[in-house]
Amino acid sequence: MCGIAGQVGQDPRQNAEQYKIYCAMQQSLSRRGPDQRGMYIEGPAALIHARLAVVDLDGGRQPMQYEQGGECYVLVYNGEVYNTPELRAELCALGHTFQGHSDTEVLLHAYAEWGEDCLARLNGIFAFAVWQKRAGRLFLARDRCGVKPLFYALRGGTLIFGSELKTLLCHPLVPPRVDAAGLAEVLLLGPGRTPGCGVFSGVRELRPGECAVFSSADGTLQTRLYWQLVDHEHPDDFAATVRRVRELVLDAIERQLVSDVPVATFLSGGLDSSIISAVASEVFKKQGRPLHTFSVGYRDNKQYFHATKFQPSPDAPYIRRMNAALTARHHWITLDTADLVPALYAATEARDLPGMADVDASLLAFCEHIKPHATVALSGECADEIFGGYPWYRDKTVRERYGFPWAQSTAYRASFLRPGVLGDIDPAAFVDERYQQTLAETSVREGLSADERRMRQMVNLNFRWFMQTLLDRKDRMSMWHSLEVRVPFCDHRIAEYLYSTPWEFKDHEGREKGLLREAMRGVLPDEVLWRKKSPYPKTWHPAYLAAVSERLRAVIADPAAPLLRLLQKQKLEALLAGDDGRDGTPWYGQLMTRPQTIAWFLQLDHWLRHYRVELV
């Protein structure tokens, strides 16, 4: 994985001062790409790269150039293409030759050969930019599921782009200004974001499955979706569906184990990470090398853990059962309050926005422990969205409730706001507009029952919103420590096939992700295969609540605190006292209850300070 950035425009002012800006943009990506750096600066274009070397360590340097048919193509790329061998063979048959074995070189040749149509051939996670020198044309693209980020801002006739928001903010044309709409994104939807929204004024993000063309001649930018989930008649009966799911999942995992650097897996003892670890263990065993697996826990959690509807059992017994079944070296990582609280601020800087509080912070600290052992890790994100694992898929009352099922908190959020902070934006209407827009854009074929129609809506809502929040989290927290995390369940073939699969198949035997469980029979021990879903673990230690509460009290004791420009002090005091009248619905998702809400306000205050956010 890497970080990419650049500027293309009619007058990029190629001088020493402009070069300093490019260097600052490149430096902002140093955690994403600590191994190699490169720049291409010529005419109206500057392409910037910071590399984390994973495949073809010597031959995959960027920016990479290639000439064909009188055109010079220049590529900067962040990602992995998992079907590189097939693409290389196809291109060789067409007369292409290659200097190394990197997927970067194959991607560049693929674009030179097929242009924008190359996107339909790619299996992978990516964000890339290709400059065509003769045509004066920049092409940008992002992978179908949105695993890798790509932000941009159009200022007059100049396009500025980068892997992270902080990279754009290094450019003087992109000041850290946030208008009322951007503030509403943070305060009413955060840590989620409207697809394509970059929060800062004038900043956008390519949506999953979107590409763009920028012309340096006239300064115009055109975007289009090249992929989205489309409903169709499911072609298979249940038995055939089970076989196909097994084929797809095994193939996705095995493809994503390819690397020239050490590979590890996350192992929580849950279904998804256990499947990945089991498959990886078998592959590594055949290759005669050990797999390293990693799990995260919290000090004294055994003492303080208590079962809830969302988190019914601790992970440790299931991790131990998987350890006994695998040929792997397992690493237990135990975090404490002293690790989690400071990491809240680093996690905000990694995401460039307030995030999922200690759910982000713990992952960031966890990845720091993994990095000395591996440069690549595989994780189980996105199976719940695609296979219907969350409670809001399976609880009919929750499923049919109006609005985003993971964020039924708009009125509660709005109660904290100072009058006039959002201008004339009505909080309920702001959130509702985004919900309705997503429903309107959901593909549902004719003739479906009301229940099946709602399930298509639920999948699309989760795919576009909740899954993106988790993918943002995984990308930013891992890349902060130069760790590439791959997510096999985000293989677009799995998403396409499962989208139209009948709910009765997915809900096999009345179990969450019952179809996936049935498909993975024999891969996992039965007690893990049929374990009730439990989400990413969080700390239950009362010391954590005490620590974040103490810090928030210190923040609001300062009349000049940026947080108090937005929020009512008495409402924050009521939250700290535990008498804010909350009805038990989380701030966001299943894990952000009162301690995490307090921690989120700490992140919000740090974001306003660190980025010197200008409210306009």
Please say whether the beta carbons of 526 and 301 come within 8 A.
no
What letter does residue 49 receive in the DSSP assignment? Answer: E
Measure CA of the first residue to CA of the last residue in the chain; give whole Å: 35
Question: Residue 311: what pLDDT?
Answer: 64
Structure-block tokens of residue 569: 């002090």
pLDDT of 309 over the 70 cut:
no
Compute the average pLDDT of residues 567-580.
92
What letter does residue 236 receive in the DSSP assignment? Answer: -
Question: Residue 272: what pLDDT?
Answer: 97
Q: In b/e form, how buried is each residue of 120-135, taking b as 16+ CB within 10 angstroms?
A: eebbbbbbbbbbbbee
Q: In b/e form, how buried is each residue of 577-594, taking b as 16+ CB within 10 angstroms?
A: eeebebeeebbbbbbbbb
Please say whether the beta carbons of 249 and 516 come within 8 A.
yes
pLDDT tens digits, 42-62: 999 999 999 988 887 887 899
Question: Residue 315: what pLDDT?
Answer: 86
Dihedral sign from CA coordinates of 537, 403, 226, 162: negative
Domain locations along the chain: 2-225, 238-529
* Of the candidates 130, 200, 145, the residue with the CA atom closest to the CA atom of residue 169: 200
Compute the average pLDDT of residues 594-611.
97
Residue whose pair of structure tokens reads 């198949």 in the numeric block: 505
Q: How far is CA 96 from the centre of its chain?
A: 34
What letter does residue 197 receive in the DSSP assignment? Answer: B
Q: Name which residue leads in pLDDT, 539 or 242.
A: 242
Q: In b/e form, how buried is each residue of 442-467, taking b as 16+ CB within 10 angstroms?
A: bebeeeeeeebebbbbbbbbbbbbbb
Architecture category of domain 2-225 in CATH: 4-Layer Sandwich (3.60)
- Separation CA 110–CA 117 (nearest Å): 9
pLDDT of 9 over the 80 cut:
yes
Q: What is the CATH number of domain 238-529?
A: 3.40.50.620
Cβ atoms within 10 Å, residue 560: 6
Question: Residue 120: what pLDDT?
Answer: 98
Helix pair 569-577, 594-610: axis angle to 10 deg: 140
Share of the chain above pLDDT 90, in %: 87
**Catalytically active residues, by annotation:** 2
Share of the chain above pLDDT 70, in %: 96
Please say whether the beta carbons of 274 and 267 come within 8 A.
yes
pLDDT of 580 over the 80 cut:
no
* Of the candidates 504, 505, 495, 436, the residue with the CA atom closest to the CA atom of residue 467: 495
Per-residue pLDDT band at 314 (split at 50, 70, 90): confident
Q: What is the chain's alpha carbon radius of gyration, rounded to the nearest angstrom? A: 24
Structure-block tokens of residue 611: 């980025």
Q: Are strands 328-335 and 376-378 parallel, antiparallel or unpaired?
A: unpaired
* Of the candidates 381, 383, 382, 373, the residue with the CA atom closest to the CA atom of residue 293: 373
Lowest mean pLDDT across 11-15, 242-246, 518-522, 603-607 = 11-15
Question: Residue 182: what pLDDT?
Answer: 98
Compute the average pLDDT of residues 255-263.
93
Q: Name which residue leads in pLDDT, 12 or 65.
A: 65
Residue 296, CA distances (Å) to 253, 299, 332, 334, 540 in order: 22, 10, 6, 6, 14
Per-residue pLDDT band at 11 (split at 50, 70, 90): low
Please say whether the beta carbons of 578 and 594 come within 8 A.
yes
Lowest mean pLDDT across 258-267, 306-315, 429-438, 515-524 = 306-315
pLDDT of 555 over the 70 cut:
yes
pLDDT tens digits, 70-124: 999 999 999 999 999 999 999 999 999 999 999 999 999 999 999 999 999 999 9
Compute the average pLDDT of residues 402-424.
94
Strands (DSSP E) contained in 425-488 are 484-486
Structure-block tokens of residue 394: 């399976």
Lowest mean pLDDT across 31-40, 104-113, 273-282, 399-408 = 399-408
pLDDT tens digits, 175-186: 999 999 999 999
Structure-block tokens of residue 537: 């673990």
- Report helix, strand or coil for 252: helix
Residue whose pair of structure tokens reads 């700490």 in the numeric block: 602
Question: Residue 592: what pLDDT?
Answer: 87
pLDDT tens digits, 168-223: 999 999 999 999 999 999 999 999 999 999 999 999 999 999 999 999 999 999 99
pLDDT of 293 over the 60 cut:
yes
Same topology, domains 2-225 and 238-529? Answer is no
Cβ atoms within 10 Å, residue 471: 23
Question: What CA dihedral angle connects 194, 198, 204 and 209, to 10 degrees?
Answer: -50
Residue 123, CA distances (Å) to 83, 86, 161, 498 in order: 6, 10, 23, 17
What letter does residue 173 receive in the DSSP assignment? Answer: T
Cβ atoms within 10 Å, residue 244: 18
Please say whether the beta carbons of 354 and 607 come within 8 A.
yes
Average pLDDT, the chain: 94
- Report helix, strand or coil for 524: strand
* Of the candidates 512, 590, 600, 511, the residue with the CA atom closest to the CA atom of residue 551: 600
Show Cβ contacts of residue 500 under 8 Å, excluding neighbours closer than 6 positions. 231, 232, 233, 234, 445
Question: Residue 503: what pLDDT?
Answer: 97
Please say whether the beta carbons of 318 and 527 come within 8 A.
yes
Please say whether the beta carbons of 197 and 151 come within 8 A.
no
pLDDT of 304 over the 90 cut:
no
- Separation CA 530–CA 237 (nearest Å): 22
Show Cβ contacts of residue 225 under 8 Å, excluding neighbours closer than 6 positions. 207, 209, 210
